[in-house]
Amino acid sequence: MTQQNRLPDCPSCGSSRSVYADGDRNFFCNNCKVTFDDSPDEGGDYSRDPVRSAIRKEEWQQREAARKREAARQWRMNRVSRLN
């Protein structure tokens, strides 16, 4: 894996073995069960705070809904183009 594509280390346990990308800017450590971002511009953060977790979950649901709407729109456009 190149240096740019390398997953960050978890700030809680210090390992990147169980870290997965969670959307565009967040990461999830399956070992510690924490979500964190690793943006050097923002300083990065992580939290087990339930309020912050709820905010991130809501943001994730909004991104997923937008992605699904776009996929459905693309599917409809492809279907119409095949019928013509």
Per-residue pLDDT of the chain (84 residues; tens, 9 = 90+): 445 567 888 888 888 888 988 877 788 888 888 888 776 555 455 566 678 778 878 888 998 899 999 999 999 988 878 776
SS3 55: helix
- Claim: this prediction has a pTM higher than 0.85: no
Per-residue tokens: 35: 């979500």
Could you give the CA distance from residue 53 to residue 45 in angstroms, rounded to a whole number?
12
